[in-house]
Each structure stands twice: as structure tokens, then as C-alpha cells.
Amino acid sequence: MKLGSLYNSTASGHRDVFEDVHVVKDYADASYLMKPEESILKLFSDEWKSFRMLDIGVGGGRTVSSFAPLVREYHGVDFSESMIVACRDKFETSFSNASFNVCDARQMSIYPAKHFDFIMFSFNGIDTMTFADRSAVFNEVVRVSKPGCRFFFSTHNIHTVPCMFNIRMSWVIRMHLSKIREVLLLRRMNPAWRSFVSASYAHILDGAHDFRVSVCYVRPDEQLKELERHGFSDITIYSLVTGNMISISQAAGSCDPWLYYLCSIQK
């Protein structure tokens, strides 16, 4: 199926969900790192101190304490004003090199061109957008990147759809019944789910925030092509489960719910 041909009707960003006081609290309480994020910390251990870093979709500040102390400048942005207020309350007096601003990733005019050395968009924040809006984000990332800037982001893996929508037997009856209920609800909310398997990407109601957020799932090979079309190079993929670099064939056979991509801009 051609890229961009299926379900491009998501309400961009679901802003109301991410202004919800309970959602903001959940995000603000989080401080862990995913395994690929831990791998990236080690990969650039000798370079962080010289980096100007942009953390897009910073949310309630899950990644701030891990990255802000290491870098020359740390800029956290989110389109949710409530999330940014939470970040400022927690961190603005703790890190003199850090700033937090309300900013739409599709239009980051508050930042000049060729400014950042490392840009991150984690926890699948980009997946709450339509595919067209994702393209706008990539264009903006390119604009604000210095030559050689690294871009690190995560996005859901469409190859996990069969794992999500099919019932697998469990010897634990309670777990099995729970899985049946989950799959039936997913199928009810996504009546055309079988078409997702062959799609280049699809917007899926996967239960995120009580099914209030439609999430974009992408084929890894199509994600690589999309990045290359926007001028990114040296693209590598990291497994969510192991935190290790994997090949495109491994990504295609993976049931990792989402994958991390590391790439660079040479312009």
C-alpha cells in the first residue's frame, strides 16, 4: 500500500488530552529512561558537554534530569502549556542551562536555523500527529539543526499489529480473559484493523489515554525512506526491548511496540 494512503484523519496533537490535569501528573511523575535512551547516553558520553540540545515533546520532564546536567544548553519544548508549567516548577531553578517553552514542533520559529547539535523527540510524541504533520516536524528539525546534528526519536512499529489484534492463549486464566477483553475492544475501536498489516502506516486507536488518542504506526522501511526524503542520513534503528541497534530485517520481524531511530543532518 502506498505511503500516505490509509487513515490520515487524526486530529493533530490531541491538545485537550495533554492539558488534562491527570495526564500531566502522570507525565510529571515519570523520570525513567527507555533502554535505547540509555544506549544513546553512553554513545555520546564524550560529546554531551558541547551539545546544544532540543528535547521536543518534553512532557512533564521525564528525560530532563538525565540529559540537562550533561549538555551545554538544554531546551525542552511541548505544545501543552500545562506540561511546560510542570517542567518549570520542577526544573527551572535546578539547571541554569535549561529553558522550557510552549512550542509546536511543526513550527519552531522561536529557534533560529542551524542552532542545535542534538534533537530528541521521544516517547512517540510524533505519533499523535497526522502523517502530513510528521513531515512538517521533520522539516523543522532539519531547519534548526547544525550540520552534523543528531536526531533521535521513537515511533510505533506497524509490524506489531498482528501481536496486538490476535488472541494468544495463556495458561493463567485471568490473564487470558484480560487479553480477550483487550483484543475485542481494540477490534471494536478499529474495525478495519486487518488492512493495517499491509499498510505503510496507519492511525490506530490502541488504547492510549483511554482511546482518546489515535496513534500512528509506521513500517520501518517506509520510515527510513521518509527520513531520507527529508535529508537525514546515517540512519540506525534501536530496539525498545533490548536497547541495541538492529537491522531493518530485524525491525520487520520484531514485535517491539515501537522503535527508536537515530539519524543525522549534514546540510
Q: Which residue has the cell 500512528?
A: 216
For residue 174, the model assigns a pLDDT of 63
For residue 267, the model assigns a pLDDT of 75
For residue 266, the model assigns a pLDDT of 84
For residue 169, the model assigns a pLDDT of 54
Mean pLDDT by 10 residues, the chain (267 residues): 36 77 96 97 98 98 98 97 97 95 97 98 94 94 98 96 79 70 93 92 94 94 96 97 95 91 92
- Domain 15-156+219-265 -> CATH class: alpha beta
Residue 123's identity, in one-letter code, is F
Query: Smallest Cα–Cα separation from 121: which of 207, 20, 227, 199?
Result: 227
What are the φ/ψ torsions at residue 157 (nearest 5 degrees)? -100, 115
* Residue ranges of domains in the chain: 15-156+219-265
- Residues counted in the chain: 267
- Bridge partners (DSSP) of residue 98 are 74
Report the relative pairing of strands 245-246 and 258-265 from DSSP bridges.
Answer: unpaired
Cell of 164: 496486538
Q: Whole-angstrom Cα distance, residue 219 to residue 198? A: 9
Q: Which residue has the cell 516517547?
A: 123
For residue 170, the model assigns a pLDDT of 54
Residues of the chain by 3-state class (helix, strand, coil), percent to 5: 40, 25, 35
